Amino acid sequence: MDTTYNVKIWSIRIYRGKHKTSYSVRWALEGREWRAPFDTRALADAFRSELVSATRRGEAFSVTTGRPVSHQSGANTVSWYSFAVQFADAQWHRTAGNSRKNTAKALMTATAALLRTPPTAFKPVDVRTALREFAFNARRREQAPPEVAVILRWVERNTPSMATWEDPVKVDQVLHALGEKLDGTRAAASSVKRNRRILNVAMEYAVKHRILRTNPLPKGRGSVPKTSSAVDKRSLLNPDQAARLLDWVRRRPRGGKRLHAFFATLYYAGPRPEEVVAMRVGDVRLPAESAEDQWCELLFHTAQPEVGKNWTDDGEIHEERGLKGRAVDDIRVVPGHPSLAKILREHIQAESLKPGDLLFSGERGDMLAGSVIRRAWRSARKVVLTPEEFASPLGRRVYDLRHTCLTNWLNDGIPPAQVAEWGGNSVPVLLATYARCISGHLQDLKQRILARGDLPDVREGT
C-alpha cells in the first residue's frame, strides 16, 4: 500500500447552513486535500487530534484512504474480492434465487470497476461472466472450469484491499459503473437503485464485521435516482384488444388452447404469472354446470418464479415460494369471471386433468416455461396489433394483463381495499401503482364539486 509522511493539517472549517451547522476537518497528503465532516465541534476536534497525534508519532498516512495506517488496519488486511465472496455466501443462505442473481450482478460490476489494471489476457466479458456465474455463486464456485479458475485467480490478485472504499474518488467510480450498461449507455433507474441498495447492504455488512469503520456510500437526498412504480397507462389493453389477442393465442396450432386459458386467467383474475404456473387443478373451484351464476373461485397459495437452475438450492429452474408479501402458509381467494369459469372448465375437460395436476403445464407435463409464455405473447402482439401499437408499450409484457385486470377493477368502482386483497398488494402500493390509470369518474367528481354550492364566485365584476 502506498504511504506518505508529507502531511499538512489545517484548522477546522465551520459551515453554517440553513438547517444545520457542520464542522470539517481538513488535511493534505502530497498536496491532495482530504476532508471529514462532523455534526459537532467536539467530534471534529477529537478526529483532528487523532491526525495530529499520528504525525507526532511519525506514523505514515495512506494515500489511498487519507487516514493514518493504524486507522484502517482491518480494511488493509482484507481484499475486496475476498470480502465480496464472503458477502455473497452470507446472502445466499438468506435470500431467494432472484436476489442471489442480482447480488452477483452488483458485485460483478463493482469488482470490474475496482480492478487495478484492465484485463489484457482475457476478454472483459469473460471476466464478468466468471465473476457473476462462479465467483459470487455459492453452488458453482467449486465447479468452475480451469479457464474460469485462471481468470478468478487473476482477479483476486488485481483487486485492492477494502481500504480503497475510504477513497471518495474510488467510491464515485464504482457508483458511476453501477449506473451504466456494458455498452456505456445509462442503465434504468430501477436497476441503478437496486444495485445501490445491494452495495449499501454490503457496506453495512463490512461495518458490522469491523472491516470498515463507517459506510462510505453517500447518503441523503439525490444520492439514489428516483424511480416510479406507477403503471404506464399506455401499456393497458382495452376489451377489444384483449379479446383479439386471446383469440389469436387460442387458435395457435401448438399449445394454443392451454396458453389461451393461461392468459385468460391473468386477464380476468389478475394474479402474477409465477402464481398461475404454480396452480393445481384443485385450486380452481368451478360452479355446477347447471348453476345460473357461473362465477368460479381461484385459490392462490404458492408461487414458482423462474430464476434459473444455477441460482436455486436444488438446481431446478423454478423456485417454490409463498405468496409475495405474505406469510408462508397464507392464501389468497379471488373470484373468477363467468367467462374465465367457462374457459377453465373447457381446458380441464379437454386436457383430462385431475385435481392434483398442474393447471397449466408444459408439453412434457413439467412446469410451463417462461420462454414459451413470452414467445407466444410476443407472436400474438406482432400479428394482431398494428406496427405502431406493436412498437408501443401496449401489452408489451405478459405482466400487463395483470395490470389491466387490477385497473379494470378499480375503474368498475370496486373498493381499493378489496382490489388490494384480490391482487395481493397492500392498499398504499396499489394506489401508488394504479392511481394514474383510474378513469371514468371525472364527470361524477365534477358534479360533486358543483353540488357543494358553497364556493365563492370570484369572477371579475361580481
pLDDT digits (tens, 9 = 90+) for 329-343: 889 999 999 999 999
User: What is the predicted pLDDT for the residue at 456?
Assistant: 64
Q: Does residue 70 share a domain with residue 15?
A: yes
Half-sphere exposure (Cβ direction) of 184: Cα atoms closer than 13 Å? 0
Q: Does residue 313 share a domain with residue 427?
A: yes
Q: Is 85 contained in some domain?
A: yes
Q: Is 351 contained in some domain?
A: yes
Q: Does residue 122 share a domain with residue 241?
A: no
In angstroms, how far is CA 157 from the centroid of its own chain? 31
Q: Does residue 94 share a domain with residue 62?
A: no
Query: What global pTM score does this model have?
Result: 0.74
Let me know the angle formed at the C-alpha of 45 by 41 and 50, rounded to the nearest 5 degrees: 150
Q: Does residue 266 share a domain with residue 189?
A: no
- Average of per-residue pLDDT across 4-22: 88
Q: Does residue 131 share a domain with residue 72?
A: no
How many helices and strands (H and E) does the chain possess?
A: 18, 9
Let me know the angle formed at the C-alpha of 273 by 268 and 276, rounded to the nearest 5 degrees: 70
Helix axes 80-92, 146-157, angle to 10 degrees: 120
- Average of per-residue pLDDT across 389-406: 95
Band of the pLDDT at 47, cuts 50, 70, 90? confident
User: What is the predicted pLDDT for the residue at 64?
Assistant: 76
Mean pLDDT computed over every residue of the chain: 88
Q: Does residue 333 share a domain with residue 294?
A: yes
Range of 190's domain? 79-208
Q: Is 44 contained in some domain?
A: yes
Which of 76, 100, 128 terminates a domain? The answer is 76
pLDDT digits (tens, 9 = 90+) for 344-357: 999 999 999 999 99
Q: Does residue 150 share a domain with residue 175?
A: yes
Q: Does residue 363 share a domain with residue 294?
A: yes
User: What is the predicted pLDDT for the residue at 73?
Assistant: 53
Q: Is 452 contained in some domain?
A: no
Cα dihedral 442, 448, 453, 454 sign:
negative
Q: Is 430 contained in some domain?
A: yes
Beta bridge partners of 396: none
Total number of domains in the chain? 3
pLDDT digits (tens, 9 = 90+) for 439-457: 665 666 677 677 766 656 6
pLDDT digits (tens, 9 = 90+) for 376-393: 999 999 999 999 999 999
